[in-house]
Amino acid sequence: MAAPEVSARGVEAILDTVVLQLLDNPDRTFVYADLAFFVKWWQELHEDTKAAVRYLVQQGRFEFTGGGIVQHDEATSHYSGMVDQMSLGMRFLQAEFGHTPKIAWQLDGFGHSSSEPLLKSMGGFEAVFFSSEAYGSESDLFTSQYPTGNYGPPSMTWFFERRNDYGKPQAESVKDDPETNSYNVQEVVDDFVEKAQEWQDCVQGNDVYFFIGSDFTHSDAHMWFNNVDKMIHYVNKDGRVNAFYSTPSRYLAAKRATPGLALPLKTDDCFPYSANEQGSDYWTGYFTSRPTLKAQVSS
């Protein structure tokens, strides 16, 4: 199937540039959650660009995760609101792309409830990225907790964003011209390998995954993908680890294909949530704050 051409209209949008970069290199992948912004972008798209996105989704290189309008809170929201917002997003994806996600995405929650895997397993999900409880083997879900406690790159040397909305230093690009003083390939490779080996102790099996991006990143998608292309190339040339573009679905498939993989079963909530390693910054106030508003939401 030939890749559809993309209209040049509206290329200022982040997603427009992402689509163009995905079409430029068939090895690249991109994962998208929280449909609230995507739906607004989609409603204004030229049909040529819609065709290109559908093509990438069909290939498995543009992957939707979660499927809801937002990543709902798990601690204080009522189940009816959780179901409604998930249903709204799922209906949109089914109507526009003919399928719905099988990977649940709860990376921006502040703690995790034992009710979440029950909701997700009833919705046909196969895995949830973060931690949750299962209710019997028929509703067991593969879960994965990101080791940093966040959902961005594991090292700021991989944060290739021109904007500085995050108060973080912009990463140096991968400089691979050995005749310049800024040549940094070995530093980039060593950093990548160090993180891969460090995270190996956090997971079962040989595969680890890194998120390359964060909230509202990829304003210059070419810069992101170009640097990641180089990073993957030189890491594989080094040979200590094998790096490649992936998606949550591909990661789950790799885990399932690992011979003799034995996974532990977690059977309790992840509350209260603490925002630091010392366990002194617990997010407990939002359980009891604004009780009148919460009563109205759940009534």
CA–CA gap between residue 181 and residue 171 (Å, rounded)? 17
CA–CA gap between residue 35 and residue 40 (Å, rounded)? 9
Q: Is the pLDDT of residue 237 over 90?
A: yes
**Which candidate in 24, 84, 108, 220 is catalytic?**
108
Residue 158 lies in a domain: yes
- pLDDT single digits (tens) 24-66: 999 999 999 889 989 989 998 889 999 999 999 999 999 999 8
Rounded to an integer, the average pLDDT of 75-85 is 80
Q: Is the pLDDT of residue 134 over 70?
A: no
* pLDDT for residue 139: 47
Residue 160 lies in a domain: yes
Provide the whole-model pTM.
Answer: 0.66
Backbone conformation region of residue 171, classed left if phi is above 0, alpha if psi is from -120 to 50, else beta: beta
Lowest mean pLDDT segment, chosen from 110-114, 158-162, 188-192: 110-114
Residue 102 lies in a domain: no
User: Into how many domains does the chain fold?
Assistant: 1
CA–CA gap between residue 205 and residue 208 (Å, rounded)? 8
Rounded to an integer, the average pLDDT of 252-260 is 88
**Domain ranges, residue 210:** 149-247
Residue 56 lies in a domain: no
Query: Is 108 tagged catalytic?
Result: yes
CA–CA gap between residue 59 and residue 29 (Å, rounded)? 10
Residue 36 lies in a domain: no
CA–CA gap between residue 216 and residue 165 (Å, rounded)? 9
Phi, psi at residue 64, to the nearest 5°?
-85, 140
Residue 122 lies in a domain: no
* pLDDT for residue 6: 47
